[in-house]
Chain A
Amino acid sequence: MKPVIEIKEIKKTYHVGEIQVHALRGVDLTVNSGEFIAIMGASGSGKSTLMNLIGCLDEPTSGRYYLDGIDVSSMPRDEYANIRNQKIGFVFQGFNLLPRTTALENVELPLFYDRTHRIKNHQQAARDALEIVGLGHRLTSVPNQLSGGQQQRVAIARALVNKPSIILADEPTGNLDSHTSVEVMSVFQELNDQGITIILVTHEEDISTYAKRIVEMRDGRIRKDHPVEQRLDAKTVLATLKEDADDEAN
């Protein structure tokens, strides 16, 4: 199988005034199609930097990065924008939806910048994506009319709408309570079951167990890379949570 992501000896050094900060000190990572990876690590471990590089928001200082077999290690800014538009869907911790803009319009946003015009009916595509995350009934709601979990699902729909190769989620449950977190993870698991590759950055142990593979980072290097042994199924967890709640109510 051809890997979606192939990262070889990638380094990233920031210059803060006179001081050099080595955020990544040589990272190798291969992600195959259909994987569900959780990148873990403390703050300062380099996981966000890696995430930004994978997401083509930033370029590496050295090393090679192949996305879908194409070398994207160094490119002009506009090319990066096109790759983000075509191949990557972002989900952020703070949802990052446009305020005072309806769910439908928020989801349509990536299609607005699609220069290939491969998707003809923007509204239909956005509607379908919202349907997938279970928000088919909240099309015209604006973000501040939606709960945190619903906002994050709109963000996931936005990440989906351009049919990307990978979805990158940076602490997607960081602003959510535990129950809603599980709900969001169940959306990710469903999408992964449909064959979408997902890379998740988190520092929460329990969230990472919903993934299939865990990559642990420390000091700009990958320390551990192992499959999840006891993978949690979000649907089952939700069901038990519901039972508990019912018991308490009784």
Chain B
Amino acid sequence: MKQIKNLLKASFKSIMKNRMRSLLTSLGIIIGVSAVIVMVGIGAGSQKRIADEISSMGSNMIIVFPSFSQRGGVSRGAGSFNRFTMDDVKAIREEATQIKSVSAVVMASGQIIGNGNNWSCQIQGVDPEYLDIRGLELKSGEFFTEKDNRTCKKVVVLGQTVVENIFGDMDPIGQKIRIRNTPFTVIGVLREKGQDGRGQDQDDIAYAPSLTVLYRLKGDRFINSINASSTTLESIDKAQEEISVILRREHKIDYGEEDDFMVANQTEITEMASETSRIMTMLLGAVAAVSLIVGGIGIMNIMLVSVTERTREIGIRMSVGARSHDILTQFLLESVVLSLSGGIIGILLSVVIAIILNSWTSINTLIQPVIVIISFTFSGAVGIFFGFYPAVKASKLNPIEALRYE
């Protein structure tokens, strides 16, 4: 134990004797370690952002959308045959036990005209429960009610982007706008949600009662999708199962036939989005890890030079009683100390970089403690691996020849 402590002291001393060289040698490891930590941190940061944004839509949300349909062996692509109707929504609402809220979603788009301006955006027809399913919040005014929906009332709730483009700083509540020449009254404004995981502006939208959109704007009876939320997070699988059973019955799908719809929950959607980001993170990390190995080669190079340069010292040490194993330990410790101190400096550097990135740019860096530990351990392993050959070389020297070395 004491021997190790003394050897450590000796390695520190010899590293400090060549300060500049030691620093340059460690630089490879410093850059490698901080690159790994920062790269993975950036990946993790964007992954978290995607997850946060998706979960902000509502955590136990279930989305049902029509799947591709086949008629006579001809695939027509997803959503090509839209078979959801208000009856499907009604059946789910009345029969499902694990479902808390359910809402039809009717998509329409069109020009909104008001206050002398016009703006083109998504107009979604939804049920009042939609507010709860998506976790939407009102900034001012109110959301439409079940009665508004039943009576096809021409009311609309606007997203922040739409408000800014039509009304500017003016209070829009109570104002009249026209959507496809149909007059609507603005009754509410939603709180900003920002961009979603795919970079889409979630505030560039207008919500109107589903039946209003269906009959007054589209003149249609099919709805685009159904959104629902389960009673609890745990019951989400059961809720999906219930929806499937109800819809198969409603659509009169025989046993053995395929569903003509798809039911997906929030977790599945989140997983899809974060998978891409995870692959990116791994790629970035792998590239950074390569630089760690390059750093290791730098250490090996310097250690080899050091062994040659210190041949005489090795001879002296052997002549006063150092065994080859003592010499091996000394040189191995030196390279490990070099690489580990590079690792520590690298970690500190990565923290500084992360702080700078987080506060000065829009890049969100999330330092992962696991990665810090892994890259630190890895830098130590690099030191052992690349220090081993030079150390063995030193320990195998013949003391007589080493003493004579000029």
Residues of A within 8 A of B (CB): 52, 55, 57-58, 77-78, 81-82, 84-86, 90, 92, 96-100, 109-110, 112-114, 158, 162
Residue of A nearest to B406 (CB): A94
Rounded to whole Å, the gap between the CB of B325 and the closest CB of chain A is: 7
Rounded to whole Å, the gap between the CB of A91 and the closest CB of chain B is: 10
CA distance A86 to B321 in the complex (A): 8
Binds A, one of B72-80, B164-172, B308-316: B308-316
Chain B hits for A52, CB < 8 A = 400
Cβ–Cβ contact A82 & B320, under 8 A: no
CA distance A99 to B400 in the complex (A): 19
Cβ–Cβ contact B316 & A113, under 8 A: no
Knowing A96-B315, A100-B17, say if A114 contacts B400 (CB, 8 Å).
no
Q: Of B312, B315, B322, B400, which is within 8 A of A113 by CB? A: B322
CA distance A114 to B317 in the complex (A): 12
Chain A hits for B10, CB < 8 A = 112
Contacts of B301-331 to chain A: CB distance below 8 A = 312-313, 315-326
CA distance A112 to B9 in the complex (A): 12
Cβ–Cβ contact B323 & A109, under 8 A: no
Rounded to whole Å, the gap between the CB of B280 and the closest CB of chain A is: 49
Cβ–Cβ contact A81 & B318, under 8 A: yes
Cβ–Cβ contact B403 & A114, under 8 A: no
Given contacts A96-B319, A98-B313, A113-B321, 6 further A-B contacts (CB under 8 A): A85-B320, A96-B315, A109-B316, A110-B321, A113-B320, A162-B320
CA distance A112 to B3 in the complex (A): 8
Chain B hits for A162, CB < 8 A = 320-321
Knowing A84-B319, A92-B403, A96-B315, say if A78 contacts B6 (CB, 8 Å).
no
Knowing A110-B321, A113-B323, say if A57 contacts B17 (CB, 8 Å).
no
Residue of B nearest to A83 (CB): B321
CA distance A58 to B402 in the complex (A): 13
Cβ–Cβ contact B321 & A85, under 8 A: yes
Q: Of B315, B316, B319, B321, which is within 8 A of A114 by CB? A: B321
Rounded to whole Å, the gap between the CB of B402 and the closest CB of chain A is: 10
Rounded to whole Å, the gap between the CB of B56 and the closest CB of chain A is: 63
Q: List 25 A-B contacts (CB under 8 A).
A: A55-B319, A57-B399, A77-B323, A78-B324, A81-B321, A81-B322, A82-B323, A84-B319, A85-B321, A90-B319, A90-B320, A92-B403, A96-B312, A96-B315, A96-B316, A98-B313, A98-B316, A109-B320, A110-B320, A112-B10, A113-B321, A113-B323, A113-B326, A158-B320, A162-B321
CA distance A44 to B359 in the complex (A): 75
Q: Give 1 or 0 for each of B264-278: 1 = CB within 8 Å of chain A CB.
A: 000000000000000
Rounded to whole Å, the gap between the CB of A120 and the closest CB of chain B is: 11
CA distance A110 to B323 in the complex (A): 12
Rounded to whole Å, the gap between the CB of A132 and the closest CB of chain B is: 17
Cβ–Cβ contact A58 & B400, under 8 A: yes
Cβ–Cβ contact A96 & B317, under 8 A: no
Q: Of A57, A77, A78, A99, which is within 8 A of B319 by CB? A: A57
CA distance A90 to B322 in the complex (A): 13
The size bracket of the interface on B is 20 to 34
Rounded to whole Å, the gap between the CB of B7 and the closest CB of chain A is: 9
CA distance A114 to B6 in the complex (A): 12
Chain B hits for A112, CB < 8 A = 6, 10
Residue of B nearest to A97 (CB): B316
Chain A hits for B322, CB < 8 A = 81, 113
Chain B hits for A86, CB < 8 A = 321
Cβ–Cβ contact B316 & A78, under 8 A: no
Rounded to whole Å, the gap between the CB of A50 and the closest CB of chain B is: 13
Knowing A57-B400, A58-B400, say if A84 contacts B17 (CB, 8 Å).
no
Cβ–Cβ contact B403 & A96, under 8 A: yes
CA distance A100 to B312 in the complex (A): 14
Residue of A nearest to B326 (CB): A113
Chain A hits for B320, CB < 8 A = 84-85, 90, 109-110, 113, 158, 162
CA distance A100 to B15 in the complex (A): 12
CA distance A162 to B322 in the complex (A): 13
Chain A hits for B315, CB < 8 A = 96
Chain A hits for B403, CB < 8 A = 92, 96
Contacts of B1-24 to chain A: CB distance below 8 A = 6, 10, 17
Contacts of B67-89 to chain A: CB distance below 8 A = none
The 5 closest A-B pairs by CB, nearest first: A85-B321, A110-B320, A113-B321, A81-B323, A78-B323
CA distance A18 to B313 in the complex (A): 32
Q: Give 1 or 0 for each of B385-406: 1 = CB within 8 Å of chain A CB.
A: 0000000000000011001000
CA distance A92 to B400 in the complex (A): 12
Residue of B nearest to A58 (CB): B400
Chain B hits for A57, CB < 8 A = 319, 399-400
Chain A hits for B399, CB < 8 A = 57
Chain A hits for B317, CB < 8 A = 109, 113
Chain B hits for A90, CB < 8 A = 319-320
Chain A hits for B325, CB < 8 A = 78
